Amino acid sequence: MPRSATVTRQGILDAAYVLFRRKGYTRVSMDEIAAGARVTKRTLYYHFESKDALLAAMLEAQHDLALAAFKTFADRLGESPDSIIDALFRGLEVWADTPRWAGSGFTRLVIELADLRGHPARTIARRHKALLEGHLVELLAKAGVRAARQRAREVWLLSEGAISLMLVHGDRSYAAAAAQAAKRLIGRSAGERRR
């Protein structure tokens, strides 16, 4: 019995995700993706007109999953600024301890496509990161952090930097160092409010 188009398309997206995540965009061929999805190349091109279109669709699907996961995670972060920071960076440490961890796929792909400014993957990644940062703004504002938008941007920058350095050095302690820096930023903001 033939697979439905929806199931076939999802199988292609799943195979593309695994391969792009493991090897990057440029080192994966459409032949490898077709083999990974157990479809013919003709079927692959029926669903996705190009490798770029496939990457964009895969990132859209991952965006929805990652955003839902972040919202669920954010619900457990706590209500005080320190508990939010502790949980956020502890979550990074736990994430970095998973087998074959390779950091943020969105960030890695945008870096790989840095010279292709109009690439749809860059647009999707930018939107994805902005939405996550926006959720952090909401959490910090709800916790009473003054200038929550600016503090969220600084904390997000520390988070992305910690991810990059954990990848470079293989050392999860960068997450704890970033958490301490974030707490100082938040504490300084609270100190300014008391003056």
Question: CATH number of the domain that 37 lies in?
Answer: 1.10.10.60
Q: pLDDT value at position 2?
A: 57
pLDDT band for 19, please (50, 70, 90 cuts).
very high
Q: What is the mean pLDDT of the chain?
A: 89
Flag the least confident range among 106-110, 118-122, 151-155, 190-194.
Answer: 190-194
Kind and range of the H or E run holding 163: helix 148-169
Please check whether residues 25 and 98 belong to one and the same domain.
Answer: no
Question: CATH number of the domain that 180 lies in?
Answer: 1.10.357.10
Please check whether residues 64 and 126 belong to one and the same domain.
Answer: yes
Model confidence over 117-169: pLDDT tens digits?
888 888 888 998 999 999 999 999 999 999 999 999 999 999 999 999 999 99
Q: pLDDT value at position 195?
A: 43
Q: Identify residue 179 by its one-letter amino acid code.
A: A
Q: Are 85 and 182 in contact (CB under 8 A)?
A: yes
Q: How many domains does the chain have?
A: 2
Please check whether residues 69 and 144 belong to one and the same domain.
Answer: yes
Main-chain phi, psi angles of 50, to 5 degrees: -160, 170
Whether this model's pTM surpasses 0.85: no
| Distance, CA of 41 to CA of 35 (rounded, Å) | 8
Please check whether residues 14 and 92 belong to one and the same domain.
Answer: no
Residue 37, CB half-sphere, CA atoms under 13 Å: how many?
30
Q: pLDDT value at position 130?
A: 93
Rank 23-32, 56-65, 97-106 by mean pLDDT and report only the highest: 23-32
Tell whether the model's pLDDT for residue 65 goes beyond 80: yes
Model confidence over 39-64: pLDDT tens digits?
999 999 999 999 999 999 998 888 88
Residue 118, Cβ density class (10 Å: 0-12 exposed, 13-18 middle, ≥19 buried): exposed
| Distance, CA of 26 to CA of 30 (rounded, Å) | 10
Flag the least confident range among 14-18, 53-57, 112-116.
Answer: 112-116
Q: pLDDT value at position 1?
A: 43
Q: pLDDT value at position 189?
A: 62
Structure tokens at 100: 């074959």
Please check whether residues 158 and 115 belong to one and the same domain.
Answer: yes
Please check whether residues 76 and 17 belong to one and the same domain.
Answer: no
Structural domain of 130? 50-194
Question: Which is higher by pLDDT, 195 or 77?
Answer: 77
Tell whether the model's pLDDT for residue 194 goes beyond 50: no
